[in-house]
Structure 1
Amino acid sequence: MSFFPLAFIVFSLFLSTFSNGFSVDLIRRDSSKSPFFNSSMSRFDRLGQSIRRSQNRLAHFSSSIESLANHDETTSMIVPAEGEFLMKISIGTPPVDVLAIADTGSDLVWTQCSPCINCYKQDAPLYNTNKSTTYRRVSCNANSCETLSHSMCTREGCSYQMSYGDNSFSRGDLAEETVGLGTTADSKLVKHKGVVFGCGRNNAGTFMSSSSGIIGLGGGKVSFVGQMEEVIHGKFSYCLLPPLKTNEKKSSLMHFGDDAIVAGPGVVSTPIIPKTPDTFYYLTLEGVTVADGPKLDLVTDGDFAEVEKGNIVIDSGTTLTYIPETLHSKLIASVKSAVKKTSVSDPSGLLDLCYEVKPNEEMKLPIITVHFTGADLKLSPVNTFVMTSEGVLCLAFRPAGTVALYGNIAQMNFMVGYDLKKKTVSFKPTKCGSK
């Protein structure tokens, strides 16, 4: 039995073109193929880091929603350099390759630009606006300027300002450019004109030199997904691999367009609930079931109590799953009842319920079913438990604060499809990476 030791994944785009869309490879953030790979770290060190990033990301969602509620839109938090994927695109004419963080929790696409007032060090050459024949500054009365919550008007045109939870920031010009999907060496480069993006002239903080900015994959109109509407028709999907054995070369996949439709036996779907901000993908969690036990309902206050719609955000950039505290307490108690072993403390101090696993021991672990509206997902142990240190296995659920999040461990070995026209997320049990 294998358990999820790593979480963050690099999204490197190798384009396969189709008449009905395109597909990309997903590479684990901490794999040897990743620019983030650190050979001196153990798999448990990497997991610890990803769980800490998960906690930061939870704070990001909470702060973003709170800032919008307080009408403080220009300082909404997003988490830099801690997203799930890196995505390679090209920008400009002639095209310049850009490797940026792909973030399902934000909308704006931005990259560092030259001439630059203040740019953090990056490995790749900066995109130079003066050398591109297709660069255009967005005017203040453009729809994209009015739509983007982080925009502001200056004499020169529309600008943006992004503030981050760790005091990092990006400021610059809102502009339009030709964006290519693929690499500049690819003869099948697919180009899209007039893509709105942030041209970062003043950027600083904890950004890593291996990335050149952020590509927002959220649900807003200015996001990469929103702007590619004519090409992808509001559809994208991914299938996240479980942990690979040493030297395995399989990759996860992400699909865009009609090729991303999730269909066939075993598919269940749940509605995406429109809420503010429209960046996030809100679902409705109704409860969980452990093994053959009773359903643990999210709401139990009387026969007429209703579950709040859109009470959890699905996010591929979050490692753990965070559920409301009252439901989390029930889940802990139910798992303890189902697992006939004495629990131990997590040596890393990160998770709540852990068990000691002896070498070659096959633990009998319960199937946990997550109940969304219209969709019951049976999660195997690889979706619900992680090894945090040698011989210690822990439940990969934590109590949420103001925002509940359905993380990527729980999504492994499911084809997860988003249809923004139908406003649904679909799940299909799949052995990801198999032909």
Structure 2
Amino acid sequence: MASTLIFSHLLISIMITIPPSSMSSPKTPVRGFEASLIHRDSPQSPFYNLKATPTNRIKSARRRIIARQNYFKWLMSGKTQRNSISTPIDTDYGDNIMRFKVGTPRADTFGIFDTASDLIWFQCKPREKCYEQGIPIFDPANSDSYQKVMCGSIECNTTSDAQCPDPKGECRNEKIGLLLAVVTETEAKTQTPWLSGENGLYYLNLEGISVDGAMLNVSSSVFNMTAGGEGGVFMDSATTHTMVAFGAFSELRSRFQADKTPEIVLHFTGLEFPVSADNTWAVNSHGHYCLAILPSFAGFTIFGMYHYRTSTGM
């Protein structure tokens, strides 16, 4: 499975399609849909904090990134089978919110856009203790498309917020939050592989990174997945900044010089993706430029949302 994403400005507008394995803008017509993504720090977001400074937002993003990395470490650990009521790891909220309609009759709702899950979570009947919300509680009995996700299933076992008081019962979640991944098919021409793993992640084949035209002096194996299913490179819409496996990050960081933004290109199979200067840095409240690429000490590389927020061809 794969996706073609076209992004623009901070209130990100995207077109999502899922060609068999493509990350490039197709020349042939494709089936899909258009939706607007609202950044969590936008005034249009339900999470908007008027008092938050740019420095506050950068720090909050870093905390979410660490929480997200811990979630992926748990996901790849092989310990996703639930023997307890709940898991101790929280995936935290992502960066972008999607507004859409759900239920019968249809009602507007907000949800976190998350490419690392195949499930949609929202409050539904017959739960008695619900958080207050401005739309009617979803009633599965009135839905033609609703299907239960059972405890012990792959979908339930790869969702850290799920709860299973009855191992043979329905997979549940006692938290507010929505995880959304779009899974469909199109007729687009393929260019670069984007593979869907059993853990719900979408993996990319990153062959290397170049800085000012020179490839990093690291083995391409630093970006490969191990036989045990660890490592690799994957895309995550709920991770703000890209995290590069430490073996490559240290070499990347050494290529930076004072007062100069280098030309960084990510070399995927069949696709070269330049990182713009605007997406290389994040500016704090003091006007200081902070590198918007972080080291990953978990062995994997996460292609974060910040680096393709104003890009086309992804």
Q: TM-score under structure 1 normalisation?
A: 0.55
What's the counterpart of residue 313 of structure 1? 234
Kindly indicate whether the alpha-carbon contact (under 8 Å) linking 2:282 and 2:291 is maintained by their aligned counterparts in 1: yes
Kindly indicate whether the alpha-carbon contact (under 8 Å) linking 2:238 and 2:304 is maintained by their aligned counterparts in 1: yes
Which of residues 94, 99, 104 is equivalent to 2:105?
A: 94
Q: Provide the C-alpha distance between the structure 1 equivalents of 2:246 and 2:216, rounded to a whole number of angstroms.
A: 13
What's the counterpart of residue 104 of structure 1? 115
Q: Comparing both chains, which one has the higher relative contact order based on Cα–Cα distances under 8 Å and sequence gaps of 6 or more?
A: 2
Structure 1 residues 377 and 409 mapped into 2: Cα distance closer, same or farther (>3 Å)? same
Q: Provide the C-alpha distance between the structure 1 equivalents of 2:269 and 2:158, rounded to a whole number of angstroms.
A: 37
Larger fraction in strand:
1
Aligned residues: 282
Percent sequence identity over matched residues? 27
Which of residues 267, 270, 288 is equivalent to 2:192?
A: 270
Measured on the aligned residues, the alpha-carbon RMSD in Å equals: 3.8
Matched ranges for 1:138-217 at <5 A: 138=147, 145=150, 148-151=153-156, 163-164=160-161, 203-204=174-175, 207=176, 213-217=177-181
Task: Check if 1:368 corresponds to 2:290.
Answer: no
Task: Check if 1:381 corresponds to 2:303.
Answer: no
Q: Provide the C-alpha distance between the structure 1 equivalents of 2:12 and 2:276, rounded to a whole number of angstroms.
A: 24
Q: Quick check: which has more Rg, 1 or 2? A: 1
SS in 1 for 2:255: helix
What's the counterpart of residue 24 of structure 2? none
Post-superposition offset of 1:116:
1.7
SS in 2 for 1:287: strand
Which of residues 114, 133, 139 is equivalent to 1:123?
A: 133
Post-superposition offset of 1:321:
1.1
Structure 1: 5+ residue runs without aligned partners? 1-6, 152-159, 174-197, 208-212, 218-224, 235-257, 342-362, 417-426, 428-435
Structure 1 residues 334 and 23 mapped into 2: Cα distance closer, same or farther (>3 Å)? same
One-letter amino acid of the structure 1 residue matched with residue 211 of structure 2: V
Kindly indicate whether the alpha-carbon contact (under 8 Å) linking 2:241 and 2:294 is maintained by their aligned counterparts in 1: yes
Post-superposition offset of 1:118:
3.2
Kindly indicate whether the alpha-carbon contact (under 8 Å) linking 1:93 and 1:133 is maintained by their aligned counterparts in 2: yes
Task: Check if 1:296 corresponds to 2:306.
Answer: no
Post-superposition offset of 1:273:
3.6
Which of residues 403, 407, 411 is equivalent to 2:304?
A: 407
Larger CA deviation: 319-328 vs 389-398: 389-398
Structure 1 residues 295 and 365 mapped into 2: Cα distance closer, same or farther (>3 Å)? same
What's the counterpart of residue 26 of structure 2? none
Post-superposition offset of 1:26:
2.1
Matched ranges for 1:231-380 at <5 A: 233-234=185-186, 269-277=191-199, 279-292=200-213, 294-299=214-219, 308=224, 311-335=232-256, 339=257, 341=258, 363-380=259-276
Structure 2: 5+ residue runs without aligned partners? 1-8, 16-28, 226-230
What's the counterpart of residue 45 of structure 2? 34
Q: Provide the C-alpha distance between the structure 1 equivalents of 2:137 and 2:13, rounded to a whole number of angstroms.
A: 20
One-letter amino acid of the structure 2 residue matched with residue 408 of structure 1: M
SS in 1 for 2:284: strand
The C-alpha deviation readout for 1:284-343, integer Å capped at 9, x for no partner, is 222222214x3114317xxxx7962582111122111111111111111111xxx2x3xx
